[in-house]
Amino acid sequence: MNTRKTLAGIFTVLLGFGLASFQGKEDDRNFQIAKNLDLFNAIFKELDMFYVDTIKPEEMIQNGVEGMLALTDPYTEYYPEEEVSSLKEMTTGKYGGIGAAIRYYEAKDRIAVVEPTEGMPAAEAGVKAGDIILSVGGKEMVRGNMKPQEFSSKVSEALRGEPGTSFILKVLRPLKNDSTVLEFQITRKNIRTNPIPYYGMVRDSIGYLSLSSFTENSAKDFKKAFIELKQKGAKSLIIDLRDNGGGSLAEAVDIVNLFVPKGKEIVITKGKLKQGQGSFKTQSEPVDTQIPIAVLVNGATASASEIVSGSMQDLDRAVIIGTRTFGKGLVQTIRPLPYNGTLKVTTSKYYIPSGRCIQAIDYAKKNADGSVARIPDSLTHVFHTAAGREVRDGGGIRPDIEVKGDRIPNIVFYLMNDDLIFDYATQYCWDHPALASVDAFKLTDQDYEDFKKLVKSRKFTYDRQSEKVLKNLKEVAEFEGYMDEAAEEFKALEKKLNHNLDRDLDVFAKPIKEYISQEIVTRYFYQRGAVMERLKDDDDLNKAIEVLTDTKQYDQILSAPSGKDK
């Protein structure tokens, strides 16, 4: 027997079997796709023809699409033609309009102006935060049967339009003892959201730069601000990426490029298709590869912000300070659809210089109830920075120095949700037509007493989590037969946890005052004022200043671990 021929024949048979098996699986998958699309189409036709009531085709198909997308991840979204403009605004930071943030205001069942953008048509015309929108271009803006979110979208769409077009905006302005109706003639223009609300010197030679998004040309804005800070004498830099939800991957790479040499690989993307795979390197000569840098992050630092903070950490180029970041290691691509629709679809994962992917949630692995959980630390893997420092994948970027921020008390959420902080800021502006500067502003004890009076006059109440937990505990104790023995203890606990608004407003005065102060300062100095007010008492900022003024500590944090060469 010719053993070689026999083995070759067996190999050929096995290889052929493998190809046939693969082809069989692919054919079966294609059959399943065609079968289920036919079923979906047939079910819709049957409903449309035989269902007792007339169905709304667009609404029903839209719900079907949303159900399908719900099985993917939160970042894969369908935008019908009428919503594509919002997607473009999100990616470019540009739109045609008046430059004002708005939202539903329950007290008047109307839409209120939350914040006009500095230097834009609404602010230039005299529109102020707190103004209630009555009509746009002669069209009354009333809610009717719309949901609040739909109502907000309708008013937003009415305010937007082609640059150069004009209209009359009618608003109701709340005054101290009355309200008055005002009309403004406003000419729309191209609005661009400023990705850098504030930059300046925070200590002698320490520059500070707040970056709020990674929209089109944000790297150019960043470079301009950074060079200006250097001209003012900045010898070190604090980059604030807190609450920055991300944006363009390319803009993130270009910002990192300001601080690292040309030709450095910053991001690799890996996807199912070739289009989802790529390598992103720095393309230009840097501005400064030596300046000490601290990057501030928190739980809302995500996506492109994590590319910047994570790559700067992997390259030992900056000290990361704050709390663990969000953990979004996914990349989305824009795909055109029929009838001018658009699909934003996740096509790949990204990996930063150490080789790690910081995605915190595996959306392919869902619990029985449809929920998803973060990857536990025990299942993450160790990677190493350029100097040999240990870093981990999964679960976002872990700061080099963790500064635990104060948790927002439950009462603050309800005060904001009920517009009490918003209304008090409007009231404050009645009595204070102008503020000299952000630095000169301070909320006094008397101001806070006035706020407390407003809260009490509205008969404010809120759900306390402790009361809910206690109620649940009592129900469990009764069910398991412990209530008789623990009755006295429960009574004592109920007495201590009794709802006391005066006490809560005093106990949580510090965080409440901080939110009131930021809301007030924003009315006079817009977003730059809000950032400056936040920096007055900022643990993350103080820690960054401490590290940047201590060269030995800074170098030690970024150095190779003992026994390892850099």
Pairing label, strands 206-210, 236-240: parallel
What would the CATH number be for the domain defined by 94-192? 2.30.42.10
Closest to 312 in 3D by CA, of 331, 293, 338, 328: 293
pLDDT tens-digit series, residues 362-413: 898 877 777 788 888 888 999 999 999 999 999 899 999 999 877 888 899 9
Q: Are 383 and 356 in contact (CB under 8 A)?
A: yes
Secondary structure element (H or E) that encloses residue 295, with its range: strand 293-297
| Residues in contact with 174: Cβ distance below 8 Å, sequence separation at least 6, in sequence order | 130, 132, 426
Residue 135: beta bridge partners?
Answer: 140, 170
Burial zone of 111 (CB within 10 Å; 0-12 exposed, 13-18 middle, 19+ buried): buried
Q: Is 328 a catalytic residue?
A: yes
Delimit the domains of the chain by residue range.
Answer: 94-192, 198-405, 410-463+499-546, 465-496
pLDDT of residue 543: 98
Radius of gyration of the chain measured on its C-alpha atoms: 29
303 annotated active-site: yes
Give the integer Cα–Cα distance in Å for 192 and 84.
17
Q: Is the pLDDT of residue 256 over 50?
A: yes
In the set 131, 221, 240, 314, the catalytic residue is: 314
User: Does residue 43 surpass a pLDDT of 50?
Assistant: yes
Query: What is the reported pLDDT for 40?
Result: 93
User: Following DSSP, what letter does each residue of 166-219 receive, concatenated?
Assistant: EEEEEEEEE-SS-EEEEEEEEE-EEEE--S--EEEEEETTEEEEE---B-TTHH
- Look at residue 200 and tell me whether its pLDDT is greater than 90: yes
Rounded Cα–Cα distance for residues 461 and 467 (Å): 13
Least confident of 112-116, 133-137, 557-561: 557-561
Q: Exactly one of 128, 154, 264, 328 is catalytic; which is it?
A: 328
Residue 566 — very low, low, confident or very high, per pLDDT cuts 50/70/90? very low
| % of the chain with per-residue pLDDT over 70 | 92
pLDDT at 155 over 90: yes
Local confidence band at 105 (pLDDT 50, 70, 90 cut-offs)? very high
For the entire predicted model, the pTM comes to 0.87
**Total length of the chain:** 566
377 in catalytic set: no
pLDDT in tens, 471-510: 777 778 777 777 778 777 777 776 666 667 888 999 999 9
**pLDDT of amino acid 83:** 85
Q: At the top level of CATH, which class does the domain 198-405 belong to?
A: alpha beta
Q: What is the pLDDT of residues 284-342, one digit of tens each?
A: 999 999 999 999 999 999 999 999 999 999 999 999 999 999 999 999 999 999 999 99
Q: Is the pLDDT of residue 537 over 80?
A: yes
Question: From the candidates 213, 303, 348, 517, which is the catalytic residue?
Answer: 303
